[in-house]
Chains A and B, each alone.
Chain A
Amino acid sequence: MRFEIKLAYRHLVSGGGQTALTVAAVAIAVTVIIFIQSLITGVQRRFINDLVGSQPHVTVKRPDPAPDSLARAAERTGGEVPGVAPGAFLATREEKQVQQRTDIEQWKQVETQLAQFPGVRTVTSAVRGNAFLIRGAKRLGVTVSGGDPAAQEKIVGLQEDMIAGSWLEIGPDDVVIGWRLADEAGVRLGDRVTLQSPEGVSASFRVAGLFDTGNNTADLGQAFLTLRAAQSLFATRQDVSSILVKLDDPFQANAVADQIAAALPFETESWMREQVFIMNALRSQDQSRLMICMFALLASAFGIASVLIVSVVQKSRQIGILKSMGARDRQILLVFTLEGLGIALMGCLVGSGLGALLLNALAQIPQTARFGKADKLFNIAWDAEIFLGACAAAVAATLIAAILPARRAATMNPVDVIRGG
């Protein structure tokens, strides 16, 4: 092995410009991969965080009653009611039944069970439902989420998005809403609003806090209460309507949701299924970045292969004489493979350095502050895996590129190449 390393090393050193060129080819590929991956991963992470940062990844509920039983229930009540379309009648029936049956008793126990599933980070119970926020003549539809603020915080992560008032310390008389909703309703911190539930309960709350998640739907349509307040608003007594689950990896939501649904007598919702369009967009983004990386690798692999082929042809006499001195085919193969490896490793080193510099420069660019929350324009993912992955891919591509020239060198017939000077 020492002979092969020595010769490969000398070839690379004496190769000079040729070696530098191939190293540059690998380095550029590595830089491109690191750059693209870190940028897109970062952008996606921020996007996902904005999107599902304030949502549970999986929501666990009591299963809805089967539609045919509803139909039977409709029959029992005597079918059509004059003046009301059958569909409308069914809908109201359904809503009522759902409302009655989706509450989860024994929720403390279920929470413990859910926490056992792999990949589950946090579990908390909540009473969730739709309600109207009423202020003067305005009636705005909101999704109300009631739970222990500290426990809910782990799911929705509101604290960092708070722009006014308080959240974690709220009492049963308080509501926390998004700034857009406050804007729409024309309320300020400390003002009182009324919430009215489909159960017909109305209650007055004080706007104790305002948040800005950056997600319009949340900022315009969500309201947070304490558990007790929500329980009385939705008339659930001591029960909760859903258990919210946050995962370590948001993209495992479908898998975990299915596991829970299979193991426990509950229905589950995964954020990924609710947001199909976004998932598709992310997927196509993944595909395009994969394409870019593949092309970068391919281009550098072709460059390396052609330079190595030229170098093998240039060195054919030398290969012949080495064989006449007793070098085995495998040794010659190894020499040129090691050259490829050397180029790849140097390329990775240079490429990683360049990639880091580039990312660093990009990460410095500031974004105009929004409500005093200073933010960077690019959310760069500084993952060791991205660097290692780029290097591994480059090494693999370079070795594959080196196979052909190295084999050509190894199988060269010494008699043919020595003949003729």
Chain B
Amino acid sequence: MGTEAAAAPVIVEAAGLVKTYGLGGPNPVEVLHGIDMEAREGEFIAIIGQSGSGKSTLLNILGALDTPTDGVVRIDGVDIATLDSDGLADLRGRKVGFIFQFHYLLEEFTCLENALMPITIQKGAPEREDIEYAKMLLKRVGLESQMHKRVTQMSGGQQQRNAIVRALVNRPRVVLADEPTGNLDSRSGQEVFALMREIARETGVAFLMVTHDDRLAQEADRILRIEDGLIQEVPRSAAAAAVGAARGR
């Protein structure tokens, strides 16, 4: 499997990525000290690390939502440093899907309308095939009967599944999920994770997921850990051992 993934094209790539917050202020904080990494088509990568280690920071930069202080980030071959704010917005709209810990669905719209929001932003109104695709994805995540419901009428797990469909509806190259199950109970967390894992495989996107849940991380193709502003690959066996040790206690 590892060799298979290595052959696939690189979708997201970071080289020497540095992020400093409060630059120019009295006490700037360098959160990321030089990250080198890549994510390939069809790969499902878990990103772990302690709270405050810079996982969200990294994810936001990899999705062109934030810009690095130094270093290069390429998304589908495009160096994001070459894009202006509109260029970045368009890149996010076409190549990237975000899923956050909170669903951030728009309360003013229905489930289906929310799922189609990235298309609506881009085209003004979704076309028939967009709607078909969104409906297919909603069916896929078990929201067939909820499509015309308001956001507030759905359960937490349903809302997060709605958010997953929204992240996928524009057929992105990469999906960045920041603790997508963090706000769910363990059972619906498991369900949501399983769905993401399957859909990622089916659609061939590069999927990066930040998680605090080692058991979920175990099911990823690769695990990356951020520590002291640097990133390192965690061998799955070692992670398994760590999880095993934790369970043993």
A-to-B contact residues, CB < 8 Å? 1-3, 6-7, 10-11, 13-14, 317-318, 320-331, 414-415, 418-419, 421
Q: Are A418 and B104 in contact (CB under 8 A)?
A: yes
Residues in B with CB closer than 8 Å to A321 are 98, 100, 104, 106
Interface residues in B95-125 (C-beta closer than 8 Å to A): 96, 98, 100-102, 104, 106-109, 117-118, 120-122, 124-125
Contact of A3 among B90, B108, B124 (CB under 8 A): B124
Q: Cβ of A421: which chain B residues have Cβ within 8 Å of it? A: 101-102, 183
Contacts of A11 in B (CB 8 A): 108
CB <8 Å contact, B56 and A419: yes
Chain A at the B interface: SS class: helix
- Out of B100, B101, B102, B120, name the residue touching A6 (CB < 8 Å): B120
Closest 6 CB pairs of A and B: A326-B93, A2-B124, A10-B108, A321-B104, A325-B118, A328-B89
- Indicate if the CB atoms of A415 and B90 lie closer than 8 Å: no
How many A-B contacts if CB must be within 8 Å? 76
Query: Are B98 and A326 within 8 A (Cβ)?
Result: no
Counting CB contacts under 8 A, is B40 at the interface? Answer: no
| Contacts A/B (CB < 8 Å), 23 sampled | A2-B120, A3-B125, A10-B108, A14-B107, A317-B104, A320-B104, A321-B100, A322-B117, A322-B121, A324-B98, A325-B92, A325-B98, A325-B118, A325-B166, A326-B92, A326-B93, A326-B94, A326-B118, A326-B170, A328-B85, A328-B86, A415-B60, A418-B104
B68 at the interface (CB under 8 A from A): no
Cβ-based interface call for B63 (8 A)? yes
Q: Are B86 and A324 in contact (CB under 8 A)?
A: no
- Min CB distance B69 to A, Å, is 13
Partner of A1, one of B60, B91, B117, B124: B124
Query: Nearest-CB distance from A385 to chain B (Å)?
Result: 36
Establish whether residues A415 and B89, one from each chain, have CB atoms under 8 Å apart when the complex forms: no
Which of B63, B89, B101, B125 has the most C-beta atoms of chain A within 10 angstroms of its own C-beta? Answer: B89
B66 within 8 A of A: yes
Chain A residues within 8 Å of B124, by CB: 1-3
- Chain A residue numbers with a CB within 8 Å of B96 are 324
Complex CA distance for A419 and B104, rounded to whole angstroms: 12
Q: Which residue of A lies closest to B108 (CB)?
A: A10
Is there an interface contact between B56 and A325, defined as CB atoms closer than 8 Å? no
**B65-A325 in contact (CB<8A):** no
Complex contact A3–B121 (CB within 8 A)? yes
When A325-B98, A415-B65, A419-B56 are in contact, do A3 and B89 touch as well, CB less than 8 Å? Answer: no
B170: which A residues are within 8 A, CB to CB?
Answer: 326
Please measure, in the bound complex, the distance between the C-alpha atom of A3 and the C-alpha atom of B89, giving whole angstroms: 15
Q: How far is the CB of B32 from chain A (nearest CB, A)?
A: 14
In the assembled complex, the CB of A321 is this many whole angstroms from the nearest CB of chain B, namely 4
Whether A324 and B120, one on each chain, are in contact in the complex, defined by CB atoms closer than 8 angstroms, is: no
Q: How far is the CA of A329 from the CA of B91 in the complex (A)?
A: 14
Q: From residue B164, how far is it (CB to closest CB) to chain A in Å? A: 13
- Residues from chain A with a CB closer than 8 A to the CB of B183 are 421
Query: Across the interface, do B121 and A327 meet the contact criterion of CB distance under 8 Å?
Result: yes
Residue of A nearest to B183 (CB): A421
Which residues of B are found within 8 Å of A318, using beta-carbon distances?
104, 106
CB closest residue in chain A, given B178: A418
Complex CA gap A11/B107 in Å reads 10
Contact of B121 among A14, A325, A329, A414 (CB under 8 A): A325
Contact A14 to B108, CB < 8 A, known contacts A6-B120, A325-B118, A325-B121? yes
- Of chain A, the residue at the smallest CB distance from B106 is A318
List, in ascending order, chain A residues with CB within 8 A of B98's CB.
321, 324-325
**Cβ-defined partner of B65 (8 Å) among A1, A6, A10, A324:** A324
Cα(A327)–Cα(B63), bound, Å: 14
